[in-house]
Amino acid sequence: MNGQNGARVFDLTGKVAIVTGSGRGLGRAMARGLAEAGASVTICGRSADVVAETAAELRADGYPVLEITFEATDRQQCEGLISATVAAFGKLDIMVVNHGVGGAEAAEDVDPEVWGRIIDVNLTSAFTCAQLAGRQMIAQGGGGSIVMISSSGSLVAFEGLTSYGASKAGVDHMARHFASEWGRHGIRVNAIAPGYMTSQMKSSTGRYDTPEMIAKIQAGTPLERKGAPEELVGPVVFLASDASSFVTGHVLPVDGGWCIR
């Protein structure tokens, strides 16, 4: 940090990042933001078409990107994601674990299979991606930043989101444990907890766009609106860069103030 000041601490020139679930929505915005800050970025997710579309847009704008279609619940494919990124760019400095699924059921009606799927995708595969990224960073000699995308549902209760909230609360505490164990290697691990956003997970599309829900969101959010995907760019660049060089084990709500009420 010596000799760095101002905007330079946010510069990611020469850094290599992976953003899972970056074909669409929040992941897409964060991947572009990291690229604009100077990083080479691996765009990846389950849907080949949206991954290819996002990668093509970034390439057209002159950013170095790699595109990979992968299934996050398959450990071998997660290993391939890390190794392909290192093969293409030479290293891994930043891992943004963003992929996830939603689901809304009353607590008494939660289906065990739905519970298992949400935990598998949101928690277990997030663990896998973060663990493998940490191993790579340690093997490189240490240093790096891992950002777990959590949810305001990990911090406060939302009706019908028992499974989802539990999975994201696990992500928060997992980030703290990684931060505690990997600090000796210079690896920082933090989480971002988005609130209601204008872009939603594919499984939640439309659920929060009814007039009733919009009114509820506005009433419960001090800023009286949803967040835009681009409003995650500042937080993720901050946590990925030297601007947050003494920040680790933190969960940062980006929710317009929802969780303070």
The predicted structure's pLDDT at residue 7: 79
Q: Tell me if 109 is assigned to some domain.
A: yes
Q: Tell me if 178 is assigned to some domain.
A: yes
The predicted structure's pLDDT at residue 133: 98
Q: Tell me if 225 is assigned to some domain.
A: yes
Contact 41, 65 (CB under 8 A): yes
**pLDDT reading at 77 higher than 50:** yes
Q: Tell me if 243 is assigned to some domain.
A: yes
pLDDT band at 1 (very low <50, low <70, confident <90, very high): very low
Task: Determine the residue type at 149.
Answer: I
Q: What is the pTM assigned to this prediction?
A: 0.95
Domain span holding position 224? 12-253
Q: Tell me if 226 is assigned to some domain.
A: yes
Task: Give the residue numbers annotated as catalytic, written as ranges.
Answer: 164
pLDDT tens figures, 97-143: 999 999 889 999 999 999 999 999 999 999 999 999 999 999 999 99
Q: Tell me if 121 is assigned to some domain.
A: yes
The predicted structure's pLDDT at residue 6: 76
Q: Tell me if 5 is assigned to some domain.
A: no
Bridge partners, 251 (sequence order)? 191
Q: Tell me if 158 is assigned to some domain.
A: yes
What is the distance between the alpha carbons of residues 153 and 52, in angstroms, rounded to a whole number? 30
- Tell me the HSE value of 255 on the side-chain side, using a 13 A CA sphere: 23
Number of domains in the chain: 1
Taking residues 149-162, what's their average pLDDT? 95
Burial 41-66 (b: 16+ CB within 10 A, else e): bbbbbbeeebbebbbeebeeeebebb
CATH of the domain at 24: 3.40.50.720
